[in-house]
Structure 1
Amino acid sequence: MAVLSGIGLVALPSVASAAGPAGVEDCDFGTGGPSADTVCWLRFPDFQPLSAAQVTAGSSENQTVRLGDYTLTFTLTASPGAQGASGVRTSGLPTWDGGVLGNTIDGVPYYSGLQADDYAFYQDQSADLTGGQYNERDTITLSNITMTGPGGVVLDAGWSMVIADAETTSNYEGFVWKSDKPLQQFFSLVPSGYKDVCTGDPAILAGELSGLGTNTVTCRGGNFGDSTGAGYNPNRGILAVQSEAPQQISSTFIDDYGTSRQGVAFGVVFSEVSVEKTVVSRYSAADQFTVSMSTSGRSIASASTSGADTSTGTGKHPLITSTSGSQVSFTEQGIGSTALSHYSISWACTDDGAQIPSSDLVVSDGGATVTANVAAGHYVDCNVSNTALLGSVQWSKTDGSSLLSGSQWTLTGPDGYSANITDDSAPDEDPAGGVLRVGSLPWGDYTLTETQAPSGYLIGTASTRTFSISGNATTVDLGGIVNRAAVPGMHVKKTSDPASGQTVRPGEQITYQVVVQNTGNVDLTPAKLTDDLSDVLDNASYVEGSATATINGASAASPVVNGTTLTWSDALKVGQTATLTYVVTVSPHVTADDKLVNVVVGSADVPPGVTPPTSNCVPGTTDPDCTTTHTPVVQTAQKLAITGLDDSWRPLVLGGSAAMLIGVLLLASYRRFRRS
């Protein structure tokens, strides 16, 4: 909701008239005619008719005219002319059927629609006039003129008054207009069929118009023929002059014979000004603005935004100005902590709807103020739009030659700013895959960190970038950020002591060693080994506590033996090597027909988006690095070789052997008897 301040508006008078600047009373606007919407014809409702005698005696009264935001005060005096007085009263417009001011003639309005009855000072007819000469009768003078603007400021410049013929200047009729300031022509209105103002037939009576641009202007109507010819006394057009900031201005009527009379109207020239604000975007949601207008150091009006307003404005306001115009400054300001440096400022001004060239605007205050000339009778409107100078950052994700989609990031910045960014999802503003852009960034320092590489790629070592947003750098391009393709790899090699392929004896120990290397460029999370001991532990026993593991010489997670399976897993970074060892003891009951066969299988987990590596040791592998084989060797009884004896000794040998066997059996029986 806009908050308006500055000039207060006064209700319009009850008498209807044409529309003009808001809040003006004690004067009315007509329809049609030059600057009709900005010339306000003064009313004199308190003026009482004065007879010739009263004018001759002199009549003076103080007047106050309310003009909306302005107050015009003056002393109104009626006095006789050089040839006496006829008497003066007020009249509506037009003063007679053929009068131009306030009339509509042949469908053309000349400040028509003025409905009050007190705009013009109009003479009474006087029988004592001498015909055939210019008689100066009755003078209306406005002296001690003071125009007070908003805030009680007295305006000694920048406004003007108009005097206009409210009747017609026929033969030997006219005016003498005087002012303490030069009088310039404001208009000359000559309807179709009417004669020019202040003219006549040079061969008879030419008429006179003199003094424009000086302090005295004289208008005398001439003669266009004798009383028996056509066109003897045709209707004439009317003249108006303007005086800038006068302190005194007067009109003396010039009359001919007894039915001759003249009328005069006074007006004040108004212009209109307004200023609007458009908020395209806000740097901070709390930012608010005020726009205002001023001239000659005084305020005209202001308006402010509040809440989420995207626009505000003052509306049209009247401005009293001079013939050449007045300089009006249109200004915007930030409210409270709102900094205009956080915004681009763009002004667009129009004069009666036509764009004012930028070369005709004076820009100051770093663009916060523009000054335009507001000519008399013109409507000047200026609109200022603000767009937040929020920053943006853009970058691309590549493999060095091609764009890569699907990366994820975090962006942190000033005042707790934090955003998670996924390629092609808000707040990424760029629809192209692999190209990212984040906007609406407040000024300050930022850190951009890659949290997930595109599928199949690795986060690089330069995954974090820093940058700053400021008034001098609202757009930052970080360029291409390169990712390497993820190539995971692992190699497993199993060895033993004794070496695979050698024989082992019952009770002998075999020490196994499994070495796994991370051969790729991706951390294994974790590397995993499964060693099938089923064809080992059926002919050997695991030595409890013998299983150990190291990574690059440092202790690592211990292998676990469960039944006939040994398993191990641990994180294995790029370039690291894990070494596992464990021991078994060959069973004493092995036979030569037994085999001790050991097969290891390797696998690994990897970060999301990366394909796990294929180990050289997979189920069903025939890779010799993945298996070991041992064959037991068993001691058997051997035949003794007997030399130098013939066969006659064999019975003795056999007999002796039998006797020894019997002795062993008897000894065993005796021991069992003793134990019993």
Structure 2
Amino acid sequence: MKTHQLDTARARPLRSGFAAKTAAVAALAALSFGTLTATQASIATADDASNAQTGCSYGTDGPNADTLCWIDMSGLNTDEAKSAAGQPMSISLPGGYEMSFVAHLTAGSDQGPRDVVATSLPTYGGAVLGNAFYKNTAGKPALWIPQAQPGEDWNGWVSTITLDNVKVANQAGATNSTYSLVVADAESTDGSGGGGNAEGLRFFSDSSLNQLATAQPAGYSQTCAGGLSGVGTNEVTCLGLPGDKSTSAGAQVLKAKAPSKIGASMKVNANSREAIAFAVQFSTVQVTKDLPKRYDANDNFTVSSSTTDTELGEATTAGSATNATTGRSTLVSDADGDRVTFTEKAASPSVDWSHYQNSWSCTRNGKVIPSSDLTYADDGRSVAAHVGVGDFVDCTVTNTALLGGVSWQKTDADGAALNGSQWSLTASDGSVINVADNGQNDGNPAAGALSVSDLPWGQYTLKETQAPVGYDMTDESKTVTIDAQHLNETFGSITNSRKAGLLSWSKVDGDTSAALGGSEWTLKGPDGTTAPIVDNGQNDRNPADGELQIGGLAWGDYSLVETKAPAGYLLASDPIPVKVDAEHTNIDLKGIANTQALPGLHIEKSSDPASGAKVDPGQVISYAVDVTNTGNTPLTPATISDDLSDVLDNTSYVEGSAQATIAGTAADAPTVDTENRVLSWQGTLQPGESAKLTYQVKVNADANDADRIVNVVTGDGVVPPGTPSVVPNCVPATASETAECTTNHVPSVPAPPAPTPDEPVVPVQPDSPDNSSATPPSNNKLARTGFADGPVELALIAGLLAVTAGAGLTLVKRRRKQS
């Protein structure tokens, strides 16, 4: 562990006169009254440390670190220190003090003297000083026995370092005795080297030595494991434990009050190494001003620390800075300590003390000083604390600006919070603060709850500039006054009423978007009540044709239904949902289109056997009438009339055969009136819907091919009011000539021959001069009338009679039909 070869420190002789004072001032400036400015020494090794002397410096961490200024021994000259006179030395201390002493390096009780080297902390990786405690100490405070040279054999007590004739003087040269000197183990006193021996340190002083601290951080072995004795006397011995192989033992830190002599002997084992370090312990004080917020932007303050006759430190806030500190000021006090006063005062004329509340907090060596141990001035602007030798007293005064604040709530009529309002807050001087809920200048993150802070004293008036969405803005204004007794005021709850809903829409042609007047509507509200709206009539606020508007709607869900379409147009059949709420108070449904009404009815008559076929007596003819609503309006109803006049003359209706279906579902059957010889049907058909009518007739037994079985179907339909009339394809004027509207069958049986006359008809012969005297034939047959044979003549006569009879029968039937 003890393996580092160190550089020999440069000697610094005792300085006197102007040169000594100049050096002291320079060292004081470098320390800035105890604030470290030197470069941090290496943690791993001291070999690369600077030889420049710094007086003394403070480390970080460890017991009383804020009050221990470790003496830089880089000016030690071992050759001079070994002389009988020793080496006179002086160092500059914080606060403008100068310390002087004579350094002696002498032999130990066993050998020596073995040289020492001034070294920075830590001396090596297992030492407490510089690694765990008192880190970042500048300069070379450790006096370390160097690595043994080849052939050397060092064992036992080998070196003694003594600081003799120690004096501390102020800048005027007056000697001061209210300080403490500290001596500490700067290496690791353990059982290094093995065998039955161990390392050791023997501290001595002409003032009793007491423990300042046992520096034993976590991970380090026991301090003085071989024994610790003499604490509280002029000699304290710390021994390592023989055989202990630990290389990281804790360290003893001892102090003596204002000694004139102090030092230590070092014991090594088998060329091991030891080190000590010296520190001077003064009292230090610090005062800090904390100004988190100013009442006036120009307000600034000064803080200071002082004894009865000495100003120790002063600092002033500047600009917008929120704090200022004096830093540590060194105090050399009486042996029993001194009383230090910490004060604040105004540093700018704008300061009004009534606008601030101040509070003091002080610590002594990192622990809070109870308020009962502090003395407060009547105005609270100063506090006094006892500072003992070695104390670090740190006081902070905090000034809290007594600025005011206002708050209020935005609610609806039921007390529910409303978000999104905006406001103006006008001060008595006319300045305006704009406030937006959860936005500009609002200090309350809750919705509907607003607050403004940091308000100077005065009168403030609040007025709403924008209401929450869906609510009417209030014209109410409220005023409060902020002063010392009323710093936090409230405007209370400010209520907004719901904005009534306004519903607008237009009625347009579905193809051209042209406005359509004359529609009528019903609006059903959330409570179930309905309101009629008539274009340019009841409840319509918009006077333009085809533009409708209704207002005063409470919040909730509505349903808008068209009850009457513009003339010639279909109804908008689907209800339109409407929601009125905070986000929807002005609702425009835009154009609601209507389709022009185009009614249509198509009829088609068919039969089995098909129209034009011959039928036999007794055969059944099945008829079907297909009726389709080809338009876009309902037919209520569609009506069908099938003329059976030329059917039932030669057929008979099959009872019960008349049936009807609509869209494949059974419907009311057609009515067959055999007396008036007509089949009638009516039924409602929606657009695109079809009905099928069927019935049967049976051909009479006496029907023959002289008969005709003909029927003609016609139809019509009732359309909604204002809708054009339906024009079916089968109308009375043209149905008989339209193939889709009629059927025709002819019986297959021939008509019977004409009846034979009672006497033959003899044609009258025309007079002929050539034949007037002719003699009748001898066979007495009728004379021929241009035919070759008698039977042929008879056949012609019979045919003529048959045609005449058929024509007469037909005439009778026509007359009967017409009747």
TM bracket, shorter-chain basis: 0.3 to 0.5
TM-score by length of 1: 0.44
TM-score by length of 2: 0.38
Q: Which has the larger radius of gyration?
A: 2
